């Protein structure tokens, strides 16, 4: 039976599966992919958004409505924001010992996840490298805070990650060169993502993933690959939201001498006292101070 083309006046539910600036690939309920634009010049769509579109030709359409989101992950600076993924239930922070990862970026990803109420998983890729043991030592801090930390080598075997992705819409985030595209290729060989070259001179990866794309792992699980990050601004957070997103701060909030304590150098600050007593890491306090200065 030949499939009937929808009427151009009909609104069709769809899922945004790729983002290319002002143009998007969306997937209809029957699996058909359609290239879409949005109304007007401004676009607030993210990969993973559920939308309603109107067909303008056999292969193209326009997004008319964005349906309510369960979550939205994005970064921002003082000038603009960059949407990363919508309706995700898990953020997978992909790092590696080589090229060396930025601990500040890991902290920022965790803060963004906490602020958006998204589960976080730290994934140390390239576990076959000799430098991995030292990287794992650095990650013990985050394990002690309750974050899941997993290791694997995507080039050898990524199958152990599948159970951790089951039932989730997960987004991969991390610096360039950490092996996100290699990981996607290992989980979904048909995806044919271009793997990234490592620049040993610059100690960083070269960008190859330039747009976010969603892949279906099975009927219940999806994976969004996002472009490599070199920074993760959090200017959209208030100072109160930011401090609550440091999970180890929570037991001490409201216990400082001053109600408006910002945990910088105030006397009888419960957070600073906890740092002095070894209950909160100096690394995390420094990350908090840097973020607070940016927000201020």
Number of domain units in the chain:
3
Per-residue pLDDT at 201 exceeds 50: no
Q: How far apart are CA 84 and CA 61, in angstroms?
A: 22
pLDDT for res 149: 97
pLDDT for res 246: 97
Residues 218 and 259 in one domain: no
Residues 250 and 132 in one domain: no
Residues 127 and 54 in one domain: no
Q: Which residues contact 93 (CB under 8 A, 6 or more apart)?
A: 106, 109, 110, 120, 121, 122, 123, 173, 174
In a domain, 86, yes or no: yes
Residues 175 and 92 in one domain: yes
Residues 139 and 283 in one domain: no
Per-residue pLDDT at 30 exceeds 90: yes
For strand 198-199 and strand 169-173, is the pairing parallel, antiparallel, or unpaired?
unpaired
Mean pLDDT calculated for residue range 242-259: 96
Residues 221 and 78 in one domain: yes
Residues 219 and 122 in one domain: yes
Residues 174 and 79 in one domain: yes
Q: Last residue of a domain, which of 225, 247, 270?
A: 225
pLDDT for res 4: 47
Residues 16 and 96 in one domain: no
In a domain, 19, yes or no: yes
In a domain, 2, yes or no: no
- Domain span at 24: 11-66
CATH of the domain at 83: 3.40.50.300
pLDDT 10s digits, 279-290 = 999 999 999 999
pLDDT 10s digits, 152-167 = 999 999 999 999 999 9
Residues 116 and 215 in one domain: yes
In a domain, 195, yes or no: yes
In a domain, 5, yes or no: no
- Report the mean per-residue pLDDT for the chain: 89
Q: How many CB atoms lie within 10 A of CB 159?
A: 9
Residues 55 and 175 in one domain: no
Q: What is the pTM of this model?
A: 0.88
pLDDT for res 153: 94
């Amino acid at each position: 039976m030949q499939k009937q083309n929808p009427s151009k006046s009909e609104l069709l539910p769809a899922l945004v599966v790729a983002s290319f600036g002002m143009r998007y690939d969306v997937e209809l309920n029957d699996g058909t992919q359609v290239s879409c634009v949005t109304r007007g010049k401004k676009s607030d769509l993210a990969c993973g958004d559920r939308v309603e579109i109107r067909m303008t030709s056999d292969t193209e359409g326009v997004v008319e409505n964005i349906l309510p989101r369960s979550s939205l992950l994005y970064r921002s600076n003082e000038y603009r924001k960059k949407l990363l993924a919508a309706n995700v239930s898990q953020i997978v922070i992909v790092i590696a010992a080589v090229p060396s990862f930025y601990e500040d970026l890991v902290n920022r990803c965790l803060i963004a996840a906490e602020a958006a109420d998204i589960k976080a998983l730290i994934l140390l890729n390239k576990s076959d490298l000799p430098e991995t043991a030292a990287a794992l030592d650095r990650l013990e801090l985050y394990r002690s805070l309750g974050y899941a930390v997993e290791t694997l080598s995507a080039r050898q075997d990524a199958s152990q990650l599948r159970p951790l992705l089951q039932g989730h819409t997960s987004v991969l985030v991390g610096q360039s060169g950490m092996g996100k595209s290699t990981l996607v290729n290992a989980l979904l060989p048909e995806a044919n993502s271009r793997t990234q070259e490592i620049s040993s001179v610059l100690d960083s990866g070269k960008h190859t993933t330039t747009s976010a794309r969603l892949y279906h792992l099975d009927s219940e699980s999806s994976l969004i690959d996002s472009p490599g990050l070199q920074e993760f601004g959090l200017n959209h957070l208030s100072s109160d939201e930011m401090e609550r997103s440091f999970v180890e701060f929570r037991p001490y909030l409201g216990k400082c001498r001053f109600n408006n304590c910002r945990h910088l150098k105030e006397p009888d600050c419960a957070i600073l006292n906890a740092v002095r007593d070894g209950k909160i890491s100096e690394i995390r306090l420094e990350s908090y101070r840097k973020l607070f200065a940016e927000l201020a």
